[in-house]
Amino acid sequence: MRVGICGLGTVGSGLFNLFATNHDEIGRKTKDAPQLVQVGCRRDHPDCDLSSVDVTRDVFEVARNPGIDVLVELIGGTDTAKDLVLGAINHGKHIVTANKALIALHGDEVFAAAEKKGVSVRYEASIAGGIPVVKAIREGLAGNRIDWVAGMINGTTNFILTEMSRPGSNRSFDDVLKEAQDLGYAEADPTFDVEGIDAAHKLTILASIAFGIPLRFDAMYTEGISRITSDDILFAAELGYCIKHLGVARRSGRDVELRVHPTLIANDQMLAQVNGVMNSVMVGSDAAGATMYYGAGAGAGPTASAVMADIIDTVRGTQVPNLGFNDLSEPNFTPISSISSSYYLRLGVEDKAGVMANVSTVLSNHGVSIEALIQKDARVRDAQIVILTDEVVESKIDAAISELESLDAVTSSVSRIRVASL
Amino acid sequence: MRVGICGLGTVGSGLFNLFATNHDEIGRKTKDAPQLVQVGCRRDHPDCDLSSVDVTRDVFEVARNPGIDVLVELIGGTDTAKDLVLGAINHGKHIVTANKALIALHGDEVFAAAEKKGVSVRYEASIAGGIPVVKAIREGLAGNRIDWVAGMINGTTNFILTEMSRPGSNRSFDDVLKEAQDLGYAEADPTFDVEGIDAAHKLTILASIAFGIPLRFDAMYTEGISRITSDDILFAAELGYCIKHLGVARRSGRDVELRVHPTLIANDQMLAQVNGVMNSVMVGSDAAGATMYYGAGAGAGPTASAVMADIIDTVRGTQVPNLGFNDLSEPNFTPISSISSSYYLRLGVEDKAGVMANVSTVLSNHGVSIEALIQKDARVRDAQIVILTDEVVESKIDAAISELESLDAVTSSVSRIRVASL
């Protein structure tokens, strides 16, 4: 089978080199080994010797090339990428892509076009890099009803929170973000990663293949990590938790919740051990129970590994519905105000008698019960109260917070972080 | 596609019920949904209402039944199971099995027969229960050269070591084994699990699909956990390690080592977090790096999940070489005396001056250097010395141990446990 790569950045060059490095090993695993015949790229990559392949500066030439069976889309973005992929499908080519935004936002259109032309669209590399989690969900767990998916699927946010959590570090979000940028783990404009949009794209896809629902990025609740402080991390640790940026998709009957936000995770949970730029996805299912998948979520090698697996699946002719289901059913999306969770609350208070009683009364009046509490006096700075609540509907917490913030004795806005129940 | 189940024990009954529970969900994922039409079992299972299927007491009737497309072998053992599977293949049926011993010991013969008849043999359930690790290796990581596989793939040994490791537990192997037997985690005759044979069967298969080598159970070095003491666990903890029963397959060029034995794992490793009856497999590969797969390794639901995934793959017609490679290449198996590792050594010694110098000299004479050392005086019992060595060839450690045990000042045989390098 003849392959054309569009885009020769980090992933594209990694894939190019993987074709060379593992040519023999891949040949042992396939009957009609994939052959790289063309690369479409605006500029060459210093790590790639392109002398053995046809090179074009116009990626659409790859889409039209009758000598190509599989087009690998690695140019990123959504506009040109969508035109390129739809063009290639129209010319009868199978697609392999690492583009989470393309699938999350335009997957319906792309899959419809592919089904009409009888070609496949694969996207393992769009989620969690080298971890074959799309395959695990669509195939490995296909006998299950999947009830929830929870994962750290963005290396940038996990790196930042891990660094902020190092014992004695006490570093601010802004400080660590700058380090992440220097190390190349975060973009110059980090919004996409640190505000959770990238993770939300990935979770949109995960929810579809887990539950058999349409791709609905707009139904996602998304919250980033930029408001997490070193105080939050210290207090969470004192309570036996770490703070991670978690994507959670959960269904119960026809109700589905989709959310990406900072989350307290108990230190004895497997997901709490996932540090640095590593990714991990946990899947809760009725027969297999909870299974977990862990590895590098980005980088040339891991992403190229996922792309190559998709190419090999294409060569082997593996037939799986694009989103794992023959037909998708529209669920009821639960608005974030209606989810249930335990919450971590942190509030600055005046250091005087009666404050704790006031706070407790407000919570109690809103039906919020307290599971654990830390009160720190004002020796160093403002007195702070940290509360872990029992599980309660989010709208009640919001109402309680509003009332707390109106109290004279409460001197700060209330930090609120959801607690994972895995 | 029409399915017949042979064997209605724990896994068989779990699978039977999964067909009913997830009938609709599985129907949404397959175009020609699998239909359970016959069960072959010596006796019914109280949890299964068999009124909707044909029941036979002769499993070979399922193998001959022209109305069956896929035979699921869940009777266990190797003799009858092999005859049953070969018989079914001969009648043109696809096979799904959870039988690790059958594949590890007779896989070559079974696969050859299946290839001749053009049918598939799938065995995801034979390793690590609900964790789709066969799929991850044969398909998800197919673009990689896999360099090593390391895993806890036996729930019984992991449960026993976890219980022995609980802070303050101080329990002996025999004591916890009895509890495991009472809880149903260990058999009345526990040899198969605690001496590592079950794990060795599984690792035999993992090594074949990772490296593309023939199934060679007899090339495996196998050591169980029955000699691990609570002292070993305490000293390992003091050094920052836990003790796990680990299967390790590693290749370097044409050299392959296959071994199952107790292993010290540093507490900050992901595999060190895998406790109780849970299983986990870590795979080291050239492009994806280290990826890890975690979940329940046994039980009705998890194993049925893996069997059902294989049935769905059969329905979907997924084509993967039986061991992931078109042709297998015979490696050079490294004898255990030639492997390199760091070692934990524990020895009882007389509580007198000069002993430590004697011990150090012996090690040094054999080219063994010391990375860490604990010396405990004799207040409670015999004085003990615990040593963590740098990496060295095993034959040198063995020679050093022989000489140590011949010293007058050494009062016990030397406990030796390999240290994982992951």
d(CA A10, CA A21): 16
Look at residue A378 in the predicted model and tell me its pLDDT: 58
Count contacts between A and B (CB, < 8 Å): 213
Domain boundary among B260, B294, B328: B294
Report the relative pairing of strands B94-97 and B121-122 from DSSP bridges: parallel
Q: Name the pLDDT band for B124 (thresholds 50, 70, 90).
A: very high
Summarize the confidence of residues A248-272 as an average pLDDT.
97
**Burial environment of residue A327 by CB neighbours within 10 A (0 to 12, 13 to 18, 19 or more):** exposed
Amino acid A353: pLDDT: 84
Residue B63 Cα to chain centre, angstroms? 29
Write out the H or E segment, with its range, that includes residue B83: helix B79-90
Q: Taking 80 as the threshold, does the pLDDT of residue A382 lie above it?
A: no
User: Could you tell me which of B96, B349, A274 has the C-alpha nearest to residue A282?
Assistant: A274
Write down the pLDDT at residue A25. Answer: 96
Nearest to B3 by CA among B60, B67, B59: B67
- The candidate with the shortest Cα–Cα distance to B224, out of B250, B251, B238, B243, is B243
pLDDT reported for residue B379: 59
Q: Is residue B236 part of a domain?
A: yes
B211, with CB counted inside 10 A (0-12, 13-18, 19+), is buried
Judge if A122 and A154 occupy the same domain. no
Angle at B388 between CA B384 and CA B393, to 5 degrees: 125
- At B89, is the pLDDT very low, low, confident or very high (cuts 50, 70, 90)? very high
Q: Predicted confidence band at A72 (pLDDT cuts at 50, 70, 90)? A: very high
Q: List the beta strands (DSSP E) in B42-115.
A: 54-56, 70-73, 94-97
- Is residue B207 domain-resident? yes
Q: Report the candidate in A298, A26, A68 with the shortest Cα–Cα distance to residue A187.
A: A298
DSSP string, B379-418: SSSSEEEEEEEPSEEHHHHHHHHHHHHHSTTB-SPPEEEE
The encoded tokens of residue B285 equal 């590969």
Bridging pattern class, strands A332-333 and A289-296: unpaired
pLDDT of residue A352: 84
The per-residue pLDDT for B402 is 98
What distance in Å separates the CA atoms of residue B285 and residue A354, rounded to the nearest whole number? 60
Contact state of A22 with B145 under an 8 Å Cβ cutoff = yes
Which residues from B are below 8 Å from A288, CB to CB?
Answer: 129-131, 295-296, 301-302, 305-306
Whether residue B277 is found in the same domain as residue B189: yes
> Chain-wide mean pLDDT for chain A?
96
DSSP string, A253-293: TTEEEEEEEEEEEETTSGGGG--TTEEEEEEEETTTEEEEE
Catalytic residue among B202, B244, B376, B396: B202
A317 touching B (Cβ < 8 Å): yes
Angstrom distances, CA of residue B218 to CA of B68, B104, B221? 35, 10, 8
Residue A313 lies in a domain: no
Neighbour count for residue A253 (Cβ, 10 Å): 7
Amino acid in the structure at residue B213: I
pLDDT, tens only, B146-184: 999 999 999 999 999 999 999 988 999 999 999 999 999
pLDDT exceeds 90 at position B353:
no
Average pLDDT of A252-256?
97
Query: How many angstroms separate the CA of residue A130 from the nearest CA in chain B?
Result: 5
Q: Report the helix count and the strand count for chain A, using DSSP H and E.
A: 14, 18
pLDDT value, residue B376: 79
Residues B273 and B345 both lie in one domain: no
Same domain, B55 and B147: no
Closest approach of A289 to chain B, Cα-based (Å): 7
Of A93, A108, A126, the residue that ends a domain is A126
Chain B interface includes A28 (CB < 8 A): yes
Do A288 and A141 fall within a single domain?
yes
Give the chain A residue nearest B304 (alpha carbons): A287
CB contact A321 to B (< 8 Å): yes
Domain boundary among A272, A292, A312: A292
CA distance linking residue B194 with residue B262, whole number of Å: 10
In angstroms, how far apart are the furthest CA atoms of chain A? Answer: 80
Whether the CB-CB separation of A255 and A138 falls below 8 Å is answered with: no
pLDDT band of residue B378 (cuts 50, 70, 90) is low
Q: Which amino acid is at A92?
A: G
| Cβ atoms of residues A332 and A43 within 8 Å | no
Residues A114 and A139 placed together within one structural domain of the fold:
no
Q: What is the mean pLDDT of residues A164-181?
A: 94
Nearest beta carbon to residue B26 from set A22, A129, A143 = A143
Domain for residue B205, yes or no? yes
A41 half-sphere exposure, CB direction, 13 A CA radius:
23
pLDDT of residue B381: 62
What's the domain count of chain B?
Answer: 3
Residues 6+ apart with CB under 8 A from B242: B161, B165, B233, B236, B264, B265, B267, B272
Q: How confident is the model over A328-352, as pLDDT tens digits? A: 999 999 999 999 999 999 999 998 8
Paired residues of B248 in beta bridges: B150, B259
Could you tell me which of B119, B80, B126, B96 has the C-alpha nearest to residue B19?
A: B96
Residue A263 in this model has a pLDDT that exceeds 80: yes
Q: Tell me, what CATH number does B399's domain have?
A: 3.30.70.260
Question: In what order do the strands lie in the sheet containing A70-73?
Answer: A54-56, A35-40, A2-6, A70-73, A94-97, A121-122
> How many Å apart are CA B10 and CA A416, to the nearest integer?
45
CB atoms inside a 10 Å sphere around CB B300: 20
Same domain, B389 and B246: no
> With 80 as the cut, is the pLDDT of residue B382 above it?
no
pLDDT in tens, A20-66: 999 999 999 999 999 999 999 999 999 999 999 999 999 999 999 99
Do residues B14 and B300 lie in contact, with contact meaning Cβ atoms separated by under 8 Å? yes
Q: What pLDDT is recorded for position B85?
A: 98
Smallest CA–CA distance from B321 into chain A, residue: A29
Kindly report the number of other CB atoms within 10 A of residue A377's CB atom.
9
Distance CA B407, CA B357 (A): 12
Distance CA B231, CA B234 (A): 5
Q: Say if the Cβ atoms of A140 and B129 lie within 8 Å.
A: no
Active site residue B202: yes
Tell which residue, A59, A56, A67, A145, has the closest CA to residue A99: A59
The pLDDT value recorded for residue A158 is 97
Residue B351 has pLDDT above 90, yes or no: no
What is residue B317's predicted lDDT score, i.e. its pLDDT? 94
Two tokens, residue A272: 């709490």
* Chain B nearest C-alpha distance from A390 (Å): 27
Residue A98, both tokens: 């690492």
Q: Does A106 lie in the same domain as A198?
A: no
Q: Is pLDDT above 70 for A207?
A: yes
CATH code of the domain in which A116 resides: 3.40.50.720
Is residue B199 in a domain? yes
Q: Exposure of B108 by Cβ count < 10 A (0-12 exposed, 13-18 middle, 19+ buried)?
A: middle
pLDDT at A380: 58
- Site of tokens 């599977």: B85
Rounded average pLDDT over A132-140: 98
Q: Give the C-alpha distances (Å, rounded to integers) separating A395 from A336, B210, B263, B310.
A: 8, 51, 50, 44
Q: Which of residues 89-148 of A touch B (CB under 8 A)?
A: 124, 129-132, 135-136, 139-145
Q: Is B297 on the interface with A (CB under 8 A)?
A: no
Is A220 domain-assigned? yes
Q: By C-alpha distance, which of A129, A137, A291, A302 is closest to B280?
A: A291
CA proximity to B363, closest of B372, B350, B352: B372
Q: Which residue of A has its CA nearest to B300?
A: A287
Give the list of residues 6+ apart from residue A380 with CB closer than 8 angstroms, or none. none
For residue A384, give how far its alpha carbon lies from the nearest alpha carbon of chain B (Å).
32
pLDDT tier, B290 (very low <50, low <70, confident <90, very high otherwise): very high
Residues in chain B: 422
Q: What are phi and psi of B353, to 5 degrees?
A: -65, 145
Q: Does A273 touch chain B (CB under 8 A)?
A: yes
Do B94 and B177 have their domain in common?
no
Residue bearing the bigger pLDDT, B380 or A200? A200
Q: Are residues B351 and B204 in the same domain?
A: no
Q: Which residues of A touch B296 (CB under 8 A)?
A: 288-291
Q: Is B2 helix (H, G, I), strand (E, B) or coil?
A: strand
Helix, strand, or coil (residue A39): strand
Number of residues in chain A? 422
* DSSP result, B122-182: E-GGGSSTTS-HHHIIIIITTTSPEEEEEEE--HHHHHHHHHHTSTT----HHHHHHHHHH
- Partners of B29 on chain A (C-beta within 8 Å) are 142, 212, 321, 324-326
DSSP secondary-structure letter at A78? S
Residue B330 forms part of a structural domain: no
Give percent of chain A with pLDDT exceeding 90. Answer: 95
Q: CB distance A295–B307 less than 8 Å?
A: no
Instruction: Among A29, A129, A321, select the one facing B325 at the smallest CB separation.
Output: A29
Domain membership flag for residue A216: yes
Question: Does A289 contact chain B (CB < 8 Å)?
Answer: yes
Q: Is B308's Cβ below 8 Å from some Cβ in A? A: yes
Give the dihedral of Cα atoms A24, A25, A28, A30; nearest 10 deg.
-100
Name the 3-class secondary structure at B56: strand
Q: Which domain covers residue B44, as residue numbers?
A: 2-126
Do B159 and B288 belong to one domain?
Answer: yes
Closest CA to B199 of B235, B170, B161: B161
For residue B201, the domain's CATH number is: 3.30.360.10
In chain A, which residues have their Cβ closer than 8 Å to the Cβ of B139?
132, 135, 139, 309, 312-313, 318
Do B111 and B149 fall within a single domain? no
Angle of CA points A60, A64, A66, to nearest 5°: 145
Active-site positions of A read 202
pLDDT at B42 over 90: yes
